[in-house]
Structure 1
Amino acid sequence: MDAWLVRMQNRFSLLVPRERIGVIIGEDGKVKDRIERIFKVNLNIDSESGTIEITQTQDGDLTNVLKARDAVTAIARGFSPEDALKLKSDDIILDIIDLREIFGKSDSDITRVKGRIIGRNGKMRRALEELTGTDMSIYGHTVAITGDYEAVSTAREAISMLIEGKQHSTVYKFLRRRRHEEKKKRMTELWIHPE
């Protein structure tokens, strides 16, 4: 099921897979309570339809509503609540690649590409996460990525290479080269602007 979104003033409605509602609520409502407290929002969850309405509290603001929307979407797309709550940081973003936009409704193509992204025993996915510094969830017809902007951009580019059919070895080389460039860039910045 897709996560669709309706914006009304400082309120958002999301449609999430019903099997993820329990994770969003958490044991004894603890995850829901944490989301509400951290982002200063109220969550109204309809377990039957899978609709979640996120509204701003008196002391909250629209930025928090948007971050709460991203955190709920991340959980809906397979992330653990702990990983999703990292989105409270201004430096962390959520990016979702919908494989149906690329392959239509071809389940066989989507399954094949998900297998390429995950790799044998999860090796490719682990490499993507470790070499880019991102967290990733492959769930249903989507690939969701969280991390800082540069890291997510690099991970998205590597995933696009896999979708295009590039060899895993080519993607590994790309990731290692990009990581080396980032490390070199950070070292140069430290050299020029020591703190």
Structure 2
Amino acid sequence: MSIHNIVLRLPKDRIGALIGRDGSTKAKIEQECGVKLRIDSRTGDVEISAGEVPEESDISTARMIADAIGHGFSYERASRLLEPGNTLVIVDLREYAGHSRSDLKRIKGRIIGEEGKARRVVEELTGAYISVYDRFVAIAGTVDQVKAAEEAVRELASGGMHKVVYGKLQERRTMMRMERMKLWRKPGEPERDRGPEPIPGGGGV
């Protein structure tokens, strides 16, 4: 395998999403990343190779987008990975559930929450995108966003209380907000403390 050619295997039931209607998603990835995709729907193998201008091909980003779609993201959400500095992390929940289907279902339920509340709150507090698919949790965003969301997901998977996890994320967001305020505050201007922001959705799960 050369640096101008990589192959990854995706779940076969996600190949349709990668191709898109009339090949539209495949075409978008090829155009945005300057690559060529060869997709085998029988095996789920996806070959990503450099386009006509190899030096302008972004194979690593194309791979992240394909991987994100393969783990449950829509193209619209996965395309966030086109932004410079954004990344993708995939957590295998078998690290916590082993091969127990009942434990996997329980852990996924904790991460998703009732009517998707837990996932939505973590997304809102971190700014990352999260997809829970099969035994995986895929997380996309900036390095800092992904790190915070991954820590939250792993803590929930380990049995951590939702309220505690949300509190840590809220504290992180408040600290980041204060740092931004310091950068924009004029010399001599007093620091304003608006107090903690409410947790999205309120309450716990």
TM-score for the superposition, normalised by structure 2: 0.86
**Would you say 1:129 and 2:123 are equivalent positions?**
yes
Aligned to 1:153: 147
Q: Tell me the distance in 2 between the aligned counterparts of 1:103 and 1:167.
A: 17
Shift of 1:189: 2.6
Aligned to 2:69: 75
Aligned to 2:31: 37
Aligned to 2:138: 144
Residue correspondences, number = 187
Same amino acid, percent of matched pairs: 41
Deviations 1:13-61 (A, max 9, x none): 0111111111111111111011000000000001111111000113244
Displacement over 4 Å in runs of 4+: none
Q: Aligned AA for 1:84?
A: A
Coordinate RMSD, CA, aligned: 1.7
Note closer, same or farther for the CA distance 1:76–1:192 as it changes in structure 2 (3 Å cut).
farther
**Equivalent of 1:97 in 74, 91, 96:** 91
Q: Tell me the distance in 2 between the aligned counterparts of 1:160 and 1:26.
A: 32
Deviations 1:109-133 (A, max 9, x none): 2111110011111111100000111
For structure 1, the residue ranges without an aligned partner over 5 or more in a row are 1-6
| 1:1-195 equivalent positions in 2, closer than 5 A | 7-61=1-55, 64-191=58-185
Deviations 1:121-177 (A, max 9, x none): 111110000011111100011000111111111111111211221111111111111
SS at match of 1:8: coil
TM-score for the superposition, normalised by structure 1: 0.90
Who wins on radius of gyration, i.e. which is larger?
2
For structure 2, the residue ranges without an aligned partner over 5 or more in a row are 188-205
